[in-house]
């Protein structure tokens, strides 16, 4: 179906939870809706109405549950089929594992001509035994139902090929990531940001001579929170650590790790923040010790705020962070190596940290500017449509 002045191509974009549209993909649907008719689908939540207001598009609700849940997934597929039959999209595009499974099966059943799934991160590489095999076959099923498979980054692409998840051609969009970052918004010189950072630092009781590390993300067992706390516990007494993000109930950190976070006088739990910039501005270094990622947005956000990053040498992180250039890379699940990197950061001069941060911001501006990614997405969809 070609685009003309009277009729727009309908694109249905599906994610598992509404927070994805409220944070990572925020305003991308609104931009795309200028050329296409965009319809969004996600699980129910208290903030679903906010999505429609932000994006100016229709938002549909289909219950989807994270994790392995065959019966509930069948119910979700039926709900997605009904949504597709009602909206009649020419393109269905899914992100995140569960939305991919539900939306790709439903779109194939409904004979939607263009079915796209973006792998934002693979779960099976860190799983074991029967669960690992099941997750591999689920990803293969998603690829079988899709007509186009997009890896979020080159690391994800390599894993899809290495584990023979699909034989379809795979091409990363731009330099990777699914959203890009607004470097004007995430700027160290953004209006009012310094003031907000000072207020936050005062509120937390952090001294002027403190060295502040910041973690941003769900408090999930695969985020390396345990190793982070082990590494932090051995640092000098002027080190502080901010946790920005809510507890992940689907794969929570251990009770002992959570207890150590709550008991430590220099560890500050801020919970979920709509605006993470003040926390990033307070920090000297971002720390992301994940076991797995697709292409973490927070690394780009930190880079845009001119913040050096300590991250694990995994997919996505090692596509942005270059040791000595804009941060440090350490092996996953290695608390001693993480401690060494954090200690090294504390011993690095303020001038060098500033230089690393500036190089990081420049890299993000060149490779991951949000507007450029949105335009590449529009071009992607145009290329999937039949010619007049």
**pLDDT digits over 277-314, tens only?**
999 999 999 999 999 998 999 999 999 999 999 999 99
- Please report the pLDDT score of residue 148 as a whole number: 97
DSSP letter, residue 126: G
Proportion of the chain above pLDDT 70, given as a percent? 98
Are 378 and 350 found together in one domain? no
Contact 141, 105 (CB under 8 A): yes
CATH of the domain at 107: 3.40.50.2000
Q: Is the pLDDT reported for residue 139 higher than 70? A: yes
Are 117 and 234 found together in one domain? no
- Please report the pLDDT score of residue 15 as a whole number: 98
Contact 41, 14 (CB under 8 A): yes
- Please report the pLDDT score of residue 388 as a whole number: 58
Phi, psi for residue 247 in degrees, rounded to 5: -65, 135
Give the confidence band of 2 by pLDDT, cuts at 50, 70, 90: very low
Note the Cα 336 to chain centre separation in Å: 26
- Write out the residue range of the structural domain in which residue 106 sits: 10-180+370-384
Q: What does pLDDT average to over the chain? A: 95
Asked whether residue 186 is domain-assigned, the answer is no
Give the confidence band of 375 by pLDDT, cuts at 50, 70, 90: very high
Are 197 and 173 found together in one domain? no
pTM exceeds 0.75: yes
Are 129 and 162 found together in one domain? yes
Mean pLDDT lowest for which of 98-107, 182-191, 251-260?
A: 251-260
Relative to beta strand 10-14, strand 239-244 is unpaired
User: Directed axis angle between helix 335-347 and helix 225-233, to 10°?
Assistant: 50
What tens digit of pLDDT does each residue of 160-176 get?
999 999 999 999 999 99
- Please report the pLDDT score of residue 5 as a whole number: 42
Are 55 and 204 found together in one domain? no
Task: Provide the domain count of the chain.
Answer: 2
Q: Is the pLDDT reported for residue 3 higher than 50? A: no
For residue 138, what are the contacts with CB-CB under 8 A and spacing of at least 6? 97, 101
What tens digit of pLDDT does each residue of 325-362 get?
999 999 999 999 999 999 999 999 999 999 999 999 99
């Amino acid at each position: 179906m070609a685009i003309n002045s009277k009729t727009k191509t309908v694109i249905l974009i599906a994610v598992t939870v509404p927070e994805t549209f409220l944070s990572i993909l925020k305003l991308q649907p609104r931009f795309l809706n200028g050329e296409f008719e965009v319809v969004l689908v996600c699980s129910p939540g208290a903030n679903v109405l906010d999505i429609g207001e932000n994006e100016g598009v229709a938002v549909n609700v289909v219950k989807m549950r994270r994790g392995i849940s065959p019966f509930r997934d069948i119910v979700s597929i039926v709900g997605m089929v009904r949504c597709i039959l009602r909206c009649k999209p020419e393109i269905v595009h899914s992100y995140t594992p569960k939305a991919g499974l539900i939306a790709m099966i439903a779109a194939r059943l409904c004979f939607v001509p263009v079915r796209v799934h973006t792998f934002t991160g693979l779960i099976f590489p860190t799983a074991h035994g029967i669960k690992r095999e099941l997750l591999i076959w689920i990803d293969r099923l998603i690829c079988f139902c899709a007509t186009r498979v997009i890896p979020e980054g080159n690391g994800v692409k390599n894993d899809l090929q290495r584990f023979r998840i699909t034989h379809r051609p795979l091409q990363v969009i731009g330099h990777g990531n699914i959203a890009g970052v607004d470097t004007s918004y995430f700027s160290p010189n953004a209006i009012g940001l310094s003031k907000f950072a000072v207020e936050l630092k005062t509120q937390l009781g952090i001294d002027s001579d403190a060295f502040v590390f910041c973690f941003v993300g769900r408090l999930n067992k695969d985020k390396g929170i345990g190793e982070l706390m082990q590494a932090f516990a051995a640092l000098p007494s002027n080190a502080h650590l901010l946790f920005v993000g809510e507890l992940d109930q689907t794969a929570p950190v251990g009770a002992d790790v959570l207890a150590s976070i709550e008991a430590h006088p220099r560890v500050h739990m801020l919970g979920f923040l709509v605006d993470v910039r003040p926390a990033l501005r307070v920090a000297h270094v971002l720390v992301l010790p994940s076991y797995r990622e697709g292409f973490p947005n927070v690394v780009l956000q930190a880079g845009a705020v001119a913040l050096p990053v300590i991250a694990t040498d995994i997919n996505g992180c090692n596509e942005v962070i270059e040791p000595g250039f804009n941060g440090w890379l350490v092996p996953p699940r290695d608390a001693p190596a993480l401690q060494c990197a954090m200690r090294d950061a504390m011993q690095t001069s303020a001038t060098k940290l500033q230089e690393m941060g500036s190089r990081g911001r420049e890299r993000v501006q060149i490779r991951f500017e949000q507007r450029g990614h949105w335009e590449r997405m529009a071009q992607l969809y145009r290329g999937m449509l039949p010619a007049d």
